Amino acid sequence: MFKSHRRRIVVHIFLLPITFAMHTRFRNVLFAFAFATLAAPACALNILLVNDDGLTGNIEAQYEALVAAGHDVVVSVPCQNQSGKGGAINFLEPLWALTGACRGGAAEVGAPGAGKVTGKANYWYVDGTPVMATAYGLDIVARKRWGMPPDLVVSGPNEGQNLGPLVNMSGTVSNAQYAASLGLSAIAISADTNMNDNPALEAEAAKLTVKLIDTLKRKSTGGRLLPNGVALNVNYPKFTEGQSGGLKWSLSRHGTYSKIGLKFVEDMSQAGAGKVTLPGLVFTRNTEPPAKQQAGDEAAVIAAGKISVTAMQVGFDANVKTQRWLGHELGGLLEQGAR
């Protein structure tokens, strides 16, 4: 398991013999340099930026915003859009040369199955699932860049929100869960689809992420950003240009409320999914408002026009109370197994 490492900077100041006339000016310059040297690395984080959509304007805007905030950032994305792949991976399958070009011109036909994005420093791609791209970023890119795991893994912003019951299918959320399972601080970020291919909105969403990280950083007092075993699922509501600064942040939970559902149908054309008359999985719409007890659910918070912030545990363990209940229910069986 990875352990989070933070860079430690030691500044050695040697006071050389100087004349009295030079003393004040030299001292001011010297201490200004010392404090600048200490301040910049203390604020900077090593960040691995990933997603499940491939090379998009969203992730490029996020990269630019994080770098502008002083962070050292590397990007690792899947070659193609891999939305809905969840935590899927391809075991023991070599990555052959590409037979098709990657999204966004990340790589052309014939390029290696994993490598540097064409014409972009600090960007890499993987011809695989989102979690495979995250693993490549952690095991290959980060180790070559920093010689250790990143301080933070940011997954997204996704092209569309990841809310409630659907988060288990999200590659964006699975990236964060995978990183957190290795003991790293990780945040999944998703936004409304109206942001896609809109540079102004992409830039605003990216600044919201920087604001969130800055807040966590100030509270961390030099330690890790999130407790071990905890990741965040953050969703931005639909907003128009210039509105993001007025958005309110709200704690939430995955919950049960959702405006979107999934349904397997025998004829996709009858479900409004084009003209294909074959069976398949389609989206359904829920027009019912959330119940009172669902007010804190992610989808309800987003419907209210607020930013939802959910603390996620790693894995699927139930709480202590539920585990005790299960122990009571299976008491006899568990005792038999112990003999």
Among 87-101, 151-165, 192-206, 313-327, whose mean pLDDT is lowest? 313-327
C-alpha–C-alpha distance, residues 285 and 108, integer Å: 38
Among 8-17, 88-97, 262-271, whose mean pLDDT is lowest? 8-17
DSSP character at residue 51: -
pLDDT at 5 over 90: no
How open is the CA angle 218-223-226, to the nearest 5 degrees?
80
pLDDT at 336 over 60: no
What does the pLDDT average to over 296-303? 96
Domain ranges of the chain: 1-43, 44-255+296-327, 258-289
Q: What is the model's pTM?
A: 0.85
User: Which string of b and e fits 156-170 if b means at least 16 CB within 10 Å?
Assistant: bbbbbbbbbbbbebb
Between 273 and 12, the more confident residue is: 273
Question: In CATH, what number does 44-255+296-327 get?
Answer: 3.40.1210.10
DSSP H or E segment with residue 172? helix 171-181
Nearest to 113 by CA among 127, 123, 92, 94: 127
The predicted pLDDT at position 304 comes to 96
pLDDT digits (tens, 9 = 90+) for 12-47: 333 333 333 434 443 443 334 333 333 344 579 999
SS3 call for 119: coil
**Which residues are registered as beta bridge partners of 280?**
265
Nearest to 173 by CA among 255, 263, 237, 83: 83
pLDDT at 70 over 60: yes
The catalytic residue positions are 190
C-alpha–C-alpha distance, residues 210 and 66, integer Å: 6
Question: Are the C-beta atoms of residues 310 and 232 closer than 8 Å to each other?
Answer: yes
- In the chain, DSSP assigns E strands to 46-50, 72-78, 114-116, 123-126, 152-159, 185-191, 230-235, 249-252, 260-265, 280-285, 307-313
C-alpha–C-alpha distance, residues 174 and 168, integer Å: 7
pLDDT digits (tens, 9 = 90+) for 207-231: 999 999 999 999 887 789 999 999 9
% helix, strand, coil for the chain, step of 5: 40, 20, 40
Among 110-119, 120-129, 209-218, 275-284, whose mean pLDDT is lowest? 275-284
Between 154 and 4, the more confident residue is: 154
* Neighbouring residues of 272: CB distance < 8 A, sequence distance ≥ 6: 282
Nearest to 212 by CA among 264, 251, 170: 251
